[in-house]
Amino acid sequence: MKIKSAEFVVSNSAVEKCPKSRLPEYAFIGRSNVGKSSLINMLTSRKSLAKTSGRPGKTQLINHFLINKNWHLVDLPGYGYARVSKSAKKVFQKFITQYFAYREQLVTAFVLVDIRHEPQPIDLEFMQWLGENGIPFSIIFTKADKLRPKAIENHIEVYKNIMLETWEEVPNYFITSSSKDIGKDDVLEYIDSLNENFISN
């Protein structure tokens, strides 16, 4: 799929304030600093459509981007950011949880996982929660440029085995690097195929 246009629509902290249109949408979620905003920039070939930072906690709101005038990409704040106060964490969890619980046009969530690390409980728990709530998701492994191919293979194998302890099948997954432009076409083709099957109601 070719990205012909990509524009910022709105930022907010409440699912009720998200765009009312019934366009299919795809949300990027994962730990702070995993590379959600960078991935959106890679997919859209726009350097700074989504704001990125070396410091975790950059994205604080639900950000909608309109792509090719007919679907949305959604950049979300990260979870697991230790320096956010407890009360801020609660507010955050609430609006993110509500986004996933109520956003009917959400076709799939992409859960981003840093390929360098062992499977983290917070990610596994979040995927579990998505599963329990019937929200489809795929895993996107990020920062593949940081590992050699053999190490990538090993890490994926470890991840698959952990997933199979609780899931019947390994979820759909992608290997990406935003700094090296890896995995872009795979993710875009996947979104394209889901867009074709999306029936607005």
User: Where does this chain bind ligand GTP (CB under 6 A)?
Assistant: 32-38, 52-54, 56-59, 77-78, 142-143, 145-146, 177-179
> Among the candidate windows 10-18, 56-64, 157-165, 192-200, which touches Mg ion by CB under 5 A?
56-64
Residue 95 and residue 117: Cα distance in Å, rounded?
27
Residues 194, 136: contact at Cβ < 8 Å? no
Q: Chain-centre distance of CA 191, in angstroms?
A: 12
Q: Which of 134, 119, 133, 111 is nearest to 164 (CA)?
A: 119
Question: Minimum Å distance from CB 192 to ligand GTP?
Answer: 22
Which residues have a Cβ under 8 Å from the Cβ of 140 and sit 6 or more positions away? Answer: 28, 30, 39, 110, 111, 112, 113, 173, 174, 176, 183, 187
Q: Which of 33, 41, 59, 142 binds Mg ion (CB under 5 A)?
A: 59
DSSP 60-117: -SEEEEEETTTEEEEE-PPB--TTS-HHHHHHHHHHHHHHHHH-TTEEEEEEEEETTS
Which CB atom, from 119 or from 195, has the smaller least distance to ligand GTP? 119
Q: Chain-centre distance of CA 30, in angstroms?
A: 6
Which CB atom, from 67 or from 115, has the smaller least distance to ligand GTP? 115
Question: Minimum Å distance from CB 113 to ligand GTP?
Answer: 11
Going 85 to 86 to 90 to 96, the CA torsion angle's sign is positive
Token pair belonging to 119: 């499977």
Which CB atom, from 181 or from 189, has the smaller least distance to ligand GTP? 181
Question: Minimum Å distance from CB 176 to ligand GTP?
Answer: 7
Token pair belonging to 172: 């759909």
Q: Which of 96, 97, 109, 102 is nearest to 25 (CA)?
A: 109
Question: Minimum Å distance from CB 163 to ligand GTP?
Answer: 21
Question: Minimum Å distance from CB 53 to Mg ion?
Answer: 7
By a kind-dependent CB cut-off of 5 to 8 A, residue 13 interacts, out of ligand GTP, Mg ion, none, with: none
Binding mask 12-51 toward Mg ion (x if CB under 5 A, else -) reads: ------------------------xx--------------
By a kind-dependent CB cut-off of 5 to 8 A, residue 145 interacts, out of ligand GTP, Mg ion, none, with: ligand GTP
Which CB atom, from 54 or from 121, has the smaller least distance to ligand GTP? 54
Binding residues (CB under 5 A) for Mg ion: these are: 36-37, 58-59
